[in-house]
Amino acid sequence: MKNPPALDQLIAALKVLPGVGPKTAQRMAFHLLQRDKAGADKLARALDRALTRLTHCERCNTFSETPLCSICADPERRPDQLCVVEMPADLMTLEQAKCYQGLYFVLMGRISPLDNIGPKDVNLDKLMVRALDEVVEEVVIATNFTAEGEVTAHMIAELLKERGPKVSRIARGMPVGGELEYVDLSTLAQAVYERKSLTPPADPSAPPG
């Protein structure tokens, strides 16, 4: 017996969620339809509202309902520091750790050659414009300590090399292979406080200018 087309479409839609396979998607669909129709309606409305209202902040690239997100619009934040993270969830985790008072740039991904994701796919061109605005004095790279995160961090450091702002990387108190979203807040805060400079020291023998 085949499922009704509408049910198959719902199951297929749920499978786009990370970590959700066919069986899990099927259980979710049956639960929403049979046990929680109110929840299903709430989910559908919330998703429609998010797709309609959310866009990207003009300065930091995170999700926002306004041209500038609340952090970029906050006059109390330090405009001379720019922290680069992979995803909005990483930004939220850093905010919860209360260890950083500067501004952010959200890549919305990370470079992954195996997945055909290159620099253009993670907004590095937009990051360069933001980082080289003559206001930013330090770029703090807070990509994850995964293979892809390290490649992304290296690429950013190379692009910014000798172009103005100091470049630093959060310290390796973070576990190798770890992602910011899942690290405890005290470890994350310590990694930010103990960040390491990636900017080479000036050559004292070099002529000025």
Please, what is the end-to-end C-alpha distance for the chain in angstroms?
78
Within 10 A of 180 (CB to CB), how many other CB atoms are there?
A: 24
The whole-angstrom separation of Cα 37 and Cα 133 is 50
The answer to whether the CB of 136 falls within 8 A of the CB of 59 is no
Q: Please state the rounded mean pLDDT for residues 49-75.
A: 97
3-state class (DSSP) for residue 113 = helix
pLDDT of residue 201: 59
- How confident is the model at residue 81, as a pLDDT? 97
pLDDT for residue 129: 95
Q: Has residue 38 got a pLDDT over 80?
A: yes
- SS3 (DSSP) at 103: strand
Asked whether 174 and 191 are in contact (CB, 8 A), the reply is yes
Q: What pLDDT score does 209 carry?
A: 46
User: pLDDT at position 176, please?
Assistant: 53
Quick one: average pLDDT of 127-131?
A: 96
- Please name each of the domains of the chain with its CATH number: 5-47 (1.10.8.420), 76-197 (3.40.1360.10)
